[in-house]
């Protein structure tokens, strides 16, 4: 047996599952509220790519909670589970569909021909594997997948929350960041990451039914396939080199945006927020503004961000806040800020310093119009081009060092009107930006750590803040707010 397989842990997995009754309750390991299991499965299925005509492996398939759904659209599904009783129950329920193979084995023993699968799917699997076994599995999955194929997994993160504690359960609770790091560390032939993250989110059904935001799902695509969003992938790494604690110190709290907690408080006071409203927070960062709105106004906030790192921070903070606030938050990473929602879903859309990272702003504004309810409010603050011809250092930074897509205030406003928004009101906040940058620079003096890396990161951030301050003063860069209605 491979040294990448933990034989003791493998035996513990088998013993634990052999002792469980093949039932829905055993699979979800909680006393299911009416509707939880169905809503959870509906949500996950909606998150998957189109499976029509595809070849799928359903790992840790159990009694077939997802096997049935996937087999109704996929060309073929291979259902795998370590427990004989569970896979037999799956076979009884689903073999009539005629396009399912059933295997009883541990995932670490599996192998499939190279390029033979379009989706590797697992639900509550990796939390039972050791670190080495996860790397082994992800490396194998890469080989099994066709070019442009997908891998999906859902895991319980950050401890026991929303599930029952069962004797002998070999679950290992890890952070959501851990799983993303493991996934993106799998190298392709050119030593770049073999997988590109498509989306990361915590499961809304578990937040609604169990107040448990620690159920996190991950969707990634094999690099090299058609349609991989290469440009947004760069955004995931476009974070300050300062750690989360240092950033919160600079911004005087968890609202890591211009003006920090102070501007968040002032801007939110203008939005007419009230209990029960639904808010979409576009570019939610570490969830500071979303948490503020949920706590002080009683609104339900769906936060979406380009950066998986920021979403990990947001989910980890959500797990730790008090229950009343926790149940009002839901976070998602999406490379193009896409969100799955019905038309006319949100009462308010809130976005801070995010839209300049999106090249197709017209497409973004069109989507925001669809999402917001008639009469609803959209509030945006963002960096824009100033009235002075830009300098070469400014152009070099915005085009090459930290690529973004700056436009003038007039261009922003026109695209909002073209999308169909009414009453677009733009306001120049450049003087407020100067004051905010000066305040943040004064705090930066006290944030430098002791290591050489800390000092280098601190120097980079300080230099950027000084450059931004000068660009605003020279008229190359402005900061503006936009208030619009549907």
Note the pLDDT tens digit of each residue in 2-16: 567 788 888 899 898
Neighbouring C-alpha atoms within 13 Å toward the C-beta of 441: 16
User: Pairing relation of β-strands 372-385 and 477-485?
Assistant: antiparallel
Check if the beta carbon of residue 356 is closer than 8 Å to that of residue 404: yes
Answer yes or no: is pLDDT of 234 > 50.
Answer: no
- Distance between the two ends of the chain, CA-based, in angstroms? 62
Whole-number Cα distances in Å, 344 to 47, 223, 349, 369: 20, 35, 11, 8
Q: What is the CA radius of gyration of the chain?
A: 24
User: Does residue 228 have a pLDDT over 80?
Assistant: no
The gap from C-alpha 485 to its chain's centroid, in whole angstroms, comes to 27
What pLDDT, on a 0 to 100 scale, did the predictor assign at position 383? 96
Say what the pLDDT of residue 354 is: 93
The CA distance from 289 to 351, in Å, is 10
Between 57 and 237, name the one with better pLDDT: 57
Per-residue pLDDT averaged across 290-316, rounded?
A: 95
Instruction: Output phi, psi for 212, to 5 deg.
Output: -125, 95
Which DSSP category does 17 fall into?
H
Q: What is the DSSP letter of 213?
A: T
Rounded-to-10 torsion of CA 439, 442, 443, 444? 120
CB of 323 closer than 8 Å to CB of 367: no
Q: Taking a C-beta distance cutoff of 8 angstroms, is the pair 364, 355 a contact?
A: yes
Beta strands in 113-160 (DSSP E): 117-123, 145-156
Rounded to the nearest integer, the mean pLDDT of the chain is 89
Q: What are the beta bridge partners of residue 385?
A: 408, 477
Beta strands in 157-230 (DSSP E): 195-202, 215-222
Structural domains of the chain in order of their starting residue, each with its CATH number: 7-228 (3.40.50.150), 234-485 (3.40.50.150)
Mean pLDDT of the region 327-345: 87
Sorted by sequence, the CB contacts under 8 Å of residue 195 that are 6+ apart come out as 138, 142, 151, 183, 184, 186, 220, 221, 222, 223
**C-alpha–C-alpha distance, residues 329 and 331, integer Å:** 7
Q: What is the dihedral of CA 307, 311, 312, 316, to 10 degrees?
A: 160
- Is the pLDDT reported for residue 238 higher than 90? no
**pLDDT given for residue 452 in this prediction:** 74
**Distant-in-sequence contacts of 267-274, Cβ < 8 A, 24+ apart:** 267/350, 267/352, 267/379, 267/381, 267/481, 268/292, 268/293, 268/296, 268/297, 268/350, 270/379, 270/483, 271/348, 271/350, 271/377, 271/379, 272/348, 272/377, 273/297, 273/299, 273/348, 274/298, 274/299
Question: Residue 162 above 50 pLDDT?
Answer: yes
Q: How many CA atoms lie within 13 A of 53 on its CB side?
A: 0
Per-residue pLDDT tens over the stretch 27-85: 888 766 678 999 999 999 999 999 999 999 999 999 999 999 999 999 999 999 999 99
477-485 and 422-428 strand pairing: antiparallel
Q: What is the DSSP string of 246-282?
A: HHHHHTTSS--STTHHHHHHHHHTTTT--TT-EEEEE
Instruction: Count the neighbouring beta carbons within 10 Å of the beta carbon of residue 137.
Output: 25
Give 239's pLDDT tier (boundaries 50, 70, 90). Answer: very low
Beta-carbon contacts of residue 458 (< 8 Å; ≥ 6 apart): 242, 444, 447, 448, 449
CA–centroid distance for 146 within its chain: 24
Calculate mean pLDDT across residues 258-283. 94
Identify the band that residue 458 occupies on the pLDDT scale cut at 50, 70 and 90. confident
Rounded to an integer, what distance in angstroms lies between the CA atom of residue 278 and that of residue 441?
A: 35
Q: pLDDT at position 281, please?
A: 97
* DSSP-derived secondary structure letter, 141: H
Cβ neighbours, 10 Å, residue 361: 18
38-56 in b/e form (b: 16+ CB < 10 A) is ebbbebbeebbbebeebbb
pLDDT above 90 (res 216) = yes
Length of the chain: 486
């Amino acid at each position: 047996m491979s040294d990448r397989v933990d034989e003791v842990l493998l035996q513990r997995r088998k013993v634990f599952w052999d002792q469980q009754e093949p039932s829905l309750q055993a699979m979800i390991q909680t006393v299911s509220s009416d509707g939880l299991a169905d809503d959870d499965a509906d949500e996950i299925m909606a998150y998957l790519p189109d499976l029509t005509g595809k070849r799928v492996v359903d790992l840790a398939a159990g009694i077939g909670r997802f096997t049935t759904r996937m087999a109704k659209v996929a060309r073929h599904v291979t259902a795998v589970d370590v427990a004989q009783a569970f896979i037999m129950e799956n076979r009884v329920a689903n073999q009539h569909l005629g396009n399912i193979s059933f295997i009883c084995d541990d995932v670490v023993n599996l192998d499939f021909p190279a390029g033979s699968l379009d989706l590797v799917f697992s639900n509550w699997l990796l939390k039972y594997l050791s670190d080495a076994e996860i790397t082994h599995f992800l490396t194998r999955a890469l080989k099994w997948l066709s070019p442009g194929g997908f891998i999906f997994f859902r895991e319980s993160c950050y401890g026991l929350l929303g599930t029952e504690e069962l004797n002998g359960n070999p679950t290992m609770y890890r952070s959501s960041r851990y799983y993303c790091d493991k996934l993106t560390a799998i190298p392709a032939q050119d030593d770049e990451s073999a997988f590109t993250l498509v989306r990361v989110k915590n499961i809304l059904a578990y937040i609604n039914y169990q107040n448990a935001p620690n159920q996190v799902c991950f969707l990634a695509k094999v690099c090299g396939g058609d349609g991989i969003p290469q440009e947004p992938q760069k955004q995931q790494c476009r974070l300050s080199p300062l750690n989360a604690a240092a950033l919160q110190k600079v911004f005087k709290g968890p609202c890591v945006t211009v003006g920090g907690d102070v501007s968040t408080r002032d801007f939110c006071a203008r939005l007419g927020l009230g209990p029960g409203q639904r808010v979409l927070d576009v570019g939610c960062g570490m969830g500071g503004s979303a948490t503020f709105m949920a706590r002080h106004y009683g609104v339900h906030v769906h936060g979406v961000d380009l950066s998986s790192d920021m979403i990990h921070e947001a989910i980890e903070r959500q797990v730790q806040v008090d229950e009343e606030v926790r149940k009002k938050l839901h976070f998602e990473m999406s490379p193009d800020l896409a969100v799955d929602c019905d038309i006319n879903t949100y009462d308010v859309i809130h976005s801070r310093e995010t839209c300049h990272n999106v090249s197709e702003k017209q497409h973004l504004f069109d989507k925001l119009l669809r999402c917001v309810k008639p009469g609803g409010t959209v509030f945006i603050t963002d960096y824009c081009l100033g009235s002075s011809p830009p300098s070469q250092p400014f152009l070099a930074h915005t085009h090459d060092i930290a690529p973004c897509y700056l436009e003038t205030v007039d261009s922003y406003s026109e695209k909002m009107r073209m999308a169909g928004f009414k009453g677009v009101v733009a306001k120049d906040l450049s003087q407020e930006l100067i004051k905010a940058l000066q305040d943040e620079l004064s705090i930066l003096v006290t944030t430098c750590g002791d290591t050489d890396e800390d000092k280098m990161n601190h120097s980079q951030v300080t230099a950027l803040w000084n450059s931004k301050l000068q660009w605003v003063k020279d008229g190359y860069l402005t900061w503006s707010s936009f208030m619009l209605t549907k």
